[in-house]
């Protein structure tokens, strides 16, 4: 049967996730739009956690979905979509971080001094409000190297299991554990003095 193929969009509907993924894999843009609706916020959140600024996070989110769409036909349905797109997102964000590294360091140093958060005055620890502490934690996470940050974000913010993190980042479980341990220790060191017990 001859079929006419134009470049116009194909509009189809979706029901559930496997069906949604099947249709998205077949190039159904609407299905992909539904995937965006479903995962867009989570992806943005990961991107925002990974990126230094909001603008980069939006860019990474958009690019992640674009790449996912382009690679969708090759997506293996045995895997979870969010794991897959998280991987795209974190890779993009890591690349973005590396690109922005110099700029970010300059900004950070200007804001906190060359020593970073550890240079915060001691008396602040006693007055640190939850908001200030939160900000300090966020800054400390931002100071982590991108690989450490990715593990930290996926575990602490997204609460993925170690195996999910390993799958998402394409690293071994042992690597997940060691990176997570290092990330936690670094963050803790950075903000410990703001905690009640001094860390």
Residues that bind another protein (CB under 8 A): 1-7, 9-10, 26-27, 29, 32-33, 36-37, 40-41, 44-45, 48-49, 58, 61-62, 65-66, 69-70, 72-73, 130, 133-135, 137-138, 141, 155-157, 159, 161-162, 177-178, 180-181, 184-185, 187-188, 191-192, 195-197, 199
Inter-CA distances, 102 with 58, 99, 114, 182, Å:
20, 8, 13, 22
Sign of CA dihedral 103, 40, 182, 116: positive
CB of 54 to another protein, least distance (A): 9
CB of 102 to another protein, least distance (A): 25
Token output for 69: 């769409």
Nearer to another protein (CB atom), residue 114 or residue 130: 130
Nearer to another protein (CB atom), residue 74 or residue 114: 74
CB of 124 to another protein, least distance (A): 16
Nearer to another protein (CB atom), residue 7 or residue 114: 7
Q: Give CA–CA dist 84/28, Å, rounded.
A: 18
Residue 10 · residue 29 · CB < 8 Å = yes
Q: Fill in the DSSP letter of residue 182.
A: H
**Geometric angle at alpha carbon 47, from 70 and 32, rounded to 5°:** 30
Residues 6+ apart with CB under 8 A from 7: none
Nearer to another protein (CB atom), residue 16 or residue 197: 197
Nearer to another protein (CB atom), residue 55 or residue 102: 55
């Amino acid at each position: 049967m001859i079929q006419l193929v134009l470049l116009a969009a194909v509009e189809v509907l979706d029901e559930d996730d496997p069906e949604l993924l099947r249709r998205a894999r077949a190039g159904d843009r609407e299905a992909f739009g539904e995937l965006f609706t479903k995962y867009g916020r989570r992806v943005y959140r990961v991107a925002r956690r990974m990126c230094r600024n909001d603008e980069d996070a939006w860019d990474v989110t958009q690019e992640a979905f674009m790449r996912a769409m382009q690679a969708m036909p090759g997506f293996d349905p045995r895997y979870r979509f969010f794991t897959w797109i998280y991987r795209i997102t974190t890779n993009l964000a890591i690349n973005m971080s590396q690109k922005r590294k110099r700029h970010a360091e300059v900004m950070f140093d200007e804001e906190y001094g060359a020593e970073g958060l550890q240079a915060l005055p001691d008396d602040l620890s006693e007055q640190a409000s939850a908001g200030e502490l939160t900000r300090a934690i966020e800054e400390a996470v931002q100071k982590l190297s991108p690989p450490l940050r990715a593990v930290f974000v996926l575990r602490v913010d997204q609460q993925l299991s170690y195996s999910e993190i390993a799958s998402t980042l394409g690293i071994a479980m042992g690597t997940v554990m060691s990176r997570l341990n290092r990330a936690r220790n670094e963050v803790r060191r950075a903000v410990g003095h703001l905690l009640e017990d001094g860390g």
